[in-house]
Chain A
Amino acid sequence: MIFTAPLGLLALLAIPAIIAIHLFRRRFPPRSVAGLFLWQVVQQTPQGGGKVTKLPITASLILECLAALALALILAGARVTPASVNEHLVILLDDSASMAAINAQNQSPRDRAAQRILDEVERFGRGVRITLIQSGERPAVLAGPAALAIETRPALERWKPQAQHHSLALGLRLARELAGKTGRILVFSDESPEGEMEGVQWIAAGEPLGNVGIIGAQRTLSTDAGKGTISLTLGNSSTQEAKRQLRLVVDGVDGKDLLAQEISVPPRVSSMNLSIPAGLPAVTVALSSDALQRDNDVTLVEPRPQIVSIDNRLPKGRGHDALDRALRSIAGVTRSEQAQLVFGPASLLDPPPEPGVWRVGFGRAPQRFLATGNPQDLIGPFIPEKRHPLLLGTTLAGVVWAGALPVNLSAVHPVLSSGNQPLIGLLGSRPDDGILFNLDLDQTNLSRTPDWPILISNAVELRRQNLPGPERWNYRAGEWVRVRLGHDPKGPLRFRCGTITRDLPAARLIEFTAPAPCLLEILEGEEVAFQLGVNFLDEKETNLSDRVRGEFGKPNPKAGGLLTESGPEADPLFWSLLAIAGIAMLANWCWALRSEPVSQRSQA
């Protein structure tokens, strides 16, 4: 006899417990009476406890012990049939969208892979154990680990490849972990493996197909011309020019195409621009059907320009003019006294900042930021905080940094310094507390170097990035989406992408990964705060010309199979024990019922 759960034998402790109950049970001397009903009492308080007497071997004791023994053996998983060794197939499924590309017979690599898996399961018989892993940036187990063969078909029906191009390495690592020393690893893909893989049987179920898909898309808005443009990059994986029907559909306008035309797509990569009116809501560009459906359409949202209002409050002179010149070369800015970005003398950094107004001060800093010492002219070496966006693209070559006053290091967070002298610094932890240029604009040559417009542009772009709204309006699936709300959320934040809805943390800055191609809506309470376009745009998956069919490598010859236990219902001992326990309990119940007084029975 085998015990699959030996701890269950602890239940045998019930037998001494039953014996103890019978041993210490209160027993009065028997008295035969003719009219038991006349002695009937509703309730009588027991007087004293039981006493140890010779254990009476009653039917009740025997039946109770028998039932306890049978149940304990069931709990301990008593078996008479030993465990069997079964084949364990660990199958990695390539979840990239190209696996769903169909050929002229309407058959996809996914269909062929599924059929092959079912054939393998049938070949190994009902006892085979299956682990199905779906590849991806985060591999997932579709069935198993070591699921029964019967679970294979439902799991395969759930497998609908639509991910973007990704490496199978993570999935393969998971497969190796789950296979251990007992599993055979099979990989189903439509590509050939990169190099030789030991102990892995790689089955490529793909085939080269011609396919046209959108591999790049952009929607721009020209505010001056009052029109928008959709720029498409198309990929054609065949060697011949392909003709496709192209449609532009405006979101929310049913049955009405903005544009419908036939286009010729040359082999490999080509691009095209489409003009559309400005101010339209989301537009879907769709190509007619071909091998891969996933790359045939994109949804693009019109970007809303983010204009930064700027005020130049520097005193008239060389610095003021230099700033004006730099600002004129920057697009997407406007001049306003109610500005979002104010350039002026460093003295304006003294009062606390107003909400939404960033200040950039030049020259002598307010007294509380200064240390004792005299101004210095510096020619370098300059030490930049390289990754800070304010200094991106600057070299400061040949710059004479004039009039740099000693600054209190505890009050200023340096972005650019020379020795221990901060030259550009943030007055707090963030730029909106104020930016100090510790610089005399009238004496320095910085305003005449190429670094000057770059610095000003960086400051403007830094401000622009912090304006409310998304960083971009159209994304590729899997890209990081970053949206700045500009106020505290008025309700629960979540996004909706097709059928996917997810809650977002309540914060001014929302960050998440674009889940799948869709018109993504960011909801603040029940209101749609922003609409963003998320598209497939995957050149690797669109190109179906290099797909292959064949088998590579061999499964691990040392795979010894998985030691498995069949369910208790397969063991005759289980049913025997169950029957014994059931009969014993029933008999004991009948026995107890017989011993019960007639009057109590009739009351019941």
Chain B
Amino acid sequence: MPPIRVDWPEIQRVAAAFRLAMPRSPVGGRLGERLGSGTGSSLEFQDYRQYTLGDDLRHVDWSAYARSEVLAVRLYREEVAPRIDLVLDLSRSMTVTEDKGRAYGELCALLACACASTEADSRIVTGSADEAQRLERPEQIERFLSCDATLSALEEQRIPLRRRSLRVVVSDFLFPHDADVLVGRLAREGASLALVQLTLPEEADPSVEGGRRMQDVEGHGEFDLVIDEKAVRDYRERFGRLRLGLARAARRAGASFSHVLAGTPLRQTAKALTTAGVLESL
């Protein structure tokens, strides 16, 4: 499979309107420029709170006191520099067809741009063997996209994720797994988790094709199969169970799960991710 090429102008045009959504839970990271969900010391007003002893008198809203004779303190949003771990599946299954490879490249590039817009400490996690790599610029993600591994990073025993980091996982999740265990491992000690499943339309909804020599793209065997209606029905049922398992496990872990079909226009994909709470509009 040739290396994935990304059409950066197009990506950047779409990605300019989005950034990674911050969770309400505490986000790890040093003090920074990104407004967090909690209260802090930025200039952006967030709320009022009744004055209590020890509050900084400079934050008392005297105008309000004059109107209501109640001492109230102005609260401002916090400013953080969050940590983002972008977990990429570099197994061969992500480039099983050219379409899927292209869609994967676009999705990763979109998320890389969103990470950059978030002004976070973003790192790329590709497996236990390699240390997580810092993502300085979105374009750097292109050099990670060589999908030639026989195992996904998610199948490995140890995934080098940071504590209280925002985690975004992109994979097709087409490997035998226990969804609860997998999602539990990914969500452990993290601030948030977003699962993005990318599949081809024919992987999600195959059609009758007749006899085929089914070959695992990762070299995990092959066999002859007549893809008839029954085989398709059985496949859909299994694929549905797999997606449902991931969605349920994500819900239980407080994570978000979204399914992206290769070939979907990028803007539409970004909107879908925004709806799922993975991205937010600027």
A contacts, CB < 8 Å to B = 26-39, 41, 44, 46-47, 594-601
Instruction: Establish whether residues B221 and A595, one from each chain, have CB atoms under 8 Å apart when the complex forms.
Output: yes
**Docked complex Cα distance between A589 and B212 (Å):** 23
Instruction: Establish whether residues B238 and A38, one from each chain, have CB atoms under 8 Å apart when the complex forms.
Output: yes
Instruction: Establish whether residues A38 and B239, one from each chain, have CB atoms under 8 Å apart when the complex forms.
Output: yes
**Docked complex Cα distance between A372 and B168 (Å):** 136
Name A36's contact: one of B100, B220, B239 (CB within 8 Å). Answer: B220
**Docked complex Cα distance between A46 and B174 (Å):** 27
| Interface residue B2 (Cβ < 8 Å from any Cβ of A) | no
Instruction: Establish whether residues B93 and A601, one from each chain, have CB atoms under 8 Å apart when the complex forms.
Output: no
A-B contact pairs, 10 of them (CB 8 A): A26-B211, A29-B213, A31-B209, A31-B212, A33-B215, A34-B93, A36-B216, A39-B231, A44-B226, A595-B222
**Known interface pairs A28-B212, A41-B231, A47-B226. Does A34 touch B221 (Cβ–Cβ under 8 Å)?**
no
**Docked complex Cα distance between A594 and B218 (Å):** 12
Name B213's contact: one of A31, A34, A596 (CB within 8 Å). Answer: A31
Instruction: Establish whether residues B226 and A39, one from each chain, have CB atoms under 8 Å apart when the complex forms.
Output: no
The residue in A27, A35, A36 that gathers the most chain B C-beta atoms within 10 A of its C-beta is: A35
Closest-by-CB residue of A relative to B97 is A32
Instruction: Establish whether residues A37 and B203, one from each chain, have CB atoms under 8 Å apart when the complex forms.
Output: no
For A41, what are the chain B residues with a Cβ–Cβ distance below 8 Å? 225, 231, 234
The 0/1 profile, CB within 8 Å of A marked 1, for residues 238-263 of chain B is 11001000000000000000000000
Closest-by-CB residue of A relative to B94 is A34
For B174, what are the chain A residues with a Cβ–Cβ distance below 8 Å? 34-35, 38
Number of A-B contacts (CB under 8 A): 94
For B212, what are the chain A residues with a Cβ–Cβ distance below 8 Å? 28-31
Question: 9 additional contacts, CB 8 Å, given A34-B94, A47-B226?
Answer: A33-B214, A33-B215, A34-B100, A34-B172, A34-B174, A38-B174, A597-B216, A598-B216, A600-B223
For B235, what are the chain A residues with a Cβ–Cβ distance below 8 Å? 38-39
Instruction: Establish whether residues A31 and B214, one from each chain, have CB atoms under 8 Å apart when the complex forms.
Output: yes
**Docked complex Cα distance between A37 and B215 (Å):** 11
Contact residues of B: prevailing secondary structure: mixed
**Docked complex Cα distance between A34 and B202 (Å):** 11
**Docked complex Cα distance between A38 and B231 (Å):** 10
Least distance between B97 CB and chain A CB atoms (Å): 8
For B100, what are the chain A residues with a Cβ–Cβ distance below 8 Å? 34
Instruction: Establish whether residues A30 and B225, one from each chain, have CB atoms under 8 Å apart when the complex forms.
Output: no
**Known interface pairs A33-B96, A34-B203, A47-B211. Does A39 touch B217 (Cβ–Cβ under 8 Å)?**
no
**Docked complex Cα distance between A39 and B221 (Å):** 12
Closest-by-CB residue of B relative to A48 is B211
| Interface residue B47 (Cβ < 8 Å from any Cβ of A) | no
Instruction: Establish whether residues A33 and B238, one from each chain, have CB atoms under 8 Å apart when the complex forms.
Output: no
Instruction: Establish whether residues B213 and A28, one from each chain, have CB atoms under 8 Å apart when the complex forms.
Output: yes
Instruction: Establish whether residues A33 and B221, one from each chain, have CB atoms under 8 Å apart when the complex forms.
Output: no
Instruction: Establish whether residues A39 and B172, one from each chain, have CB atoms under 8 Å apart when the complex forms.
Output: no
For B215, what are the chain A residues with a Cβ–Cβ distance below 8 Å? 30-33, 36
B contacts, CB < 8 Å to A = 93-94, 96, 100, 172, 174-176, 199, 203, 209-218, 220-226, 231, 234-235, 238-239, 242
For A33, what are the chain B residues with a Cβ–Cβ distance below 8 Å? 96, 203, 214-217
Instruction: Establish whether residues A38 and B96, one from each chain, have CB atoms under 8 Å apart when the complex forms.
Output: no
**Docked complex Cα distance between A38 and B214 (Å):** 11
Name B221's contact: one of A38, A44, A596 (CB within 8 Å). Answer: A596
**Docked complex Cα distance between A252 and B117 (Å):** 119
**Docked complex Cα distance between A46 and B210 (Å):** 12
Q: 5 closest pairs, A vs B, by CB?
A: A35-B174, A597-B221, A34-B93, A28-B211, A36-B216
For B214, what are the chain A residues with a Cβ–Cβ distance below 8 Å? 31, 33, 36, 39
**Docked complex Cα distance between A299 and B208 (Å):** 98
For B209, what are the chain A residues with a Cβ–Cβ distance below 8 Å? 31
**Docked complex Cα distance between A599 and B238 (Å):** 15
Least distance between B98 CB and chain A CB atoms (Å): 12
For B176, what are the chain A residues with a Cβ–Cβ distance below 8 Å? 37, 598-599
For A601, what are the chain B residues with a Cβ–Cβ distance below 8 Å? 221
**Known interface pairs A37-B176, A41-B231. Does A32 touch B96 (Cβ–Cβ under 8 Å)?**
yes
For B96, what are the chain A residues with a Cβ–Cβ distance below 8 Å? 32-34
Closest-by-CB residue of B relative to A597 is B221
Name A26's contact: one of B217, B221, B224, B234 (CB within 8 Å). Answer: B224
Instruction: Establish whether residues A597 and B222, one from each chain, have CB atoms under 8 Å apart when the complex forms.
Output: yes
**Docked complex Cα distance between A595 and B209 (Å):** 22
Instruction: Establish whether residues A30 and B213, one from each chain, have CB atoms under 8 Å apart when the complex forms.
Output: yes
Least distance between A554 CB and chain B CB atoms (Å): 77
Instruction: Establish whether residues B221 and A598, one from each chain, have CB atoms under 8 Å apart when the complex forms.
Output: yes
The residue in A30, A33, A38 that gathers the most chain B C-beta atoms within 10 A of its C-beta is: A33
**Docked complex Cα distance between A601 and B223 (Å):** 12
**Docked complex Cα distance between A556 and B213 (Å):** 74
Instruction: Establish whether residues A35 and B93, one from each chain, have CB atoms under 8 Å apart when the complex forms.
Output: yes
For B221, what are the chain A residues with a Cβ–Cβ distance below 8 Å? 36, 594-601
Instruction: Establish whether residues B203 and A35, one from each chain, have CB atoms under 8 Å apart when the complex forms.
Output: yes
For A596, what are the chain B residues with a Cβ–Cβ distance below 8 Å? 221
Least distance between A484 CB and chain B CB atoms (Å): 82
Closest-by-CB residue of A relative to B212 is A31
